Amino acid sequence: MMITLSPRMLCLVAILILGTVGCAKNSTTVGPEPDRHIVMSKSFSWLKDLRSELVTEQNGAMSVVLHGTSSSLEKRELFIRTEWFKANGLPAKSLTTRWEPIQLLPRMPFVYTRAAPSGDAVEYRILITDTLK
């Protein structure tokens, strides 16, 4: 059995197919997933390859390492703050949780490292901004 469609119906089907393909194309993610531990105050298009990792030393001490590259043609300054959390999700108290300035050189990779404030800190969040209010 063959189904015939009127020109009007064929046009409607074509529009639906093109609309579906266009929507799918717009929602496609290109590149690696963003690091869920990094929160930026805005998009810094000149920051490339930004990723963090949790490092556990042999003695059980933990630290976080942030890696990235500045693609800027000029020297930049950012402020970074690392927040630590216990296994139950509550903040791990620390006197060292403060904004720290870091200088980024033009077109150079950088590394930022901070130790956990205590043994009960198991999760972290890195906050990044370029201005302090």
Which among 113, 114, 124, 118 has a CA at the least distance from the CA of 60? 118
Query: pTM, whole model, 2 decimals?
Result: 0.70
Each of the 133 residues of the chain gets a pLDDT tens digit; together they read 556 656 665 545 555 454 444 444 333 334 456 688 999 999 899 999 999 999 988 888 899 999 999 999 999 999 999 999 999 999 998 876 789 999 999 999 999 999 999 888 889 999 999 998 7
Provide the pLDDT for residue 15: 53
Burial of 21 (0-12, 13-18, 19+ CB in 10 A): exposed
Tokens of 74: 């000029």
Burial of 78 (0-12, 13-18, 19+ CB in 10 A): buried
SS3 93: coil
